[in-house]
Amino acid sequence: MLEYLTLALAIPLGLMLSQVTKDEKNIYTKSPYFPIILTILAITAAIFYTLDKTIALTLTFMFITTFIWNKF
């Protein structure tokens, strides 16, 4: 249950990171930083979901945080 509570904190963390790095947004949006990272995280989280739930939840947390960070 604690894992899912931690997973719910990914959205506020992504919003906070987007506010902190607002000045640098033009730097990391020009290069394909986030699309490559998001694709790798999504694929590895799907693979590890069948192998190890803890690693899969950690990768999902990273995916949600990066996705929210990129969108806002």
Give the 3-state DSSP-derived string for 16-67, with helices as H, strands as E and coil as C.
HHHHHCCCCHHHHHHCCHHHHHHHHHHHHHHHHHHHCHHHHHHHHHHHHHHH
Answering whether pTM is above 0.85, one says: yes
Domain boundaries, the chain: 2-21+29-71
Helix, strand, or coil (residue 13): helix
- pLDDT tens digits for 6-48? 888 999 999 999 999 999 888 877 778 888 899 999 999 999 9
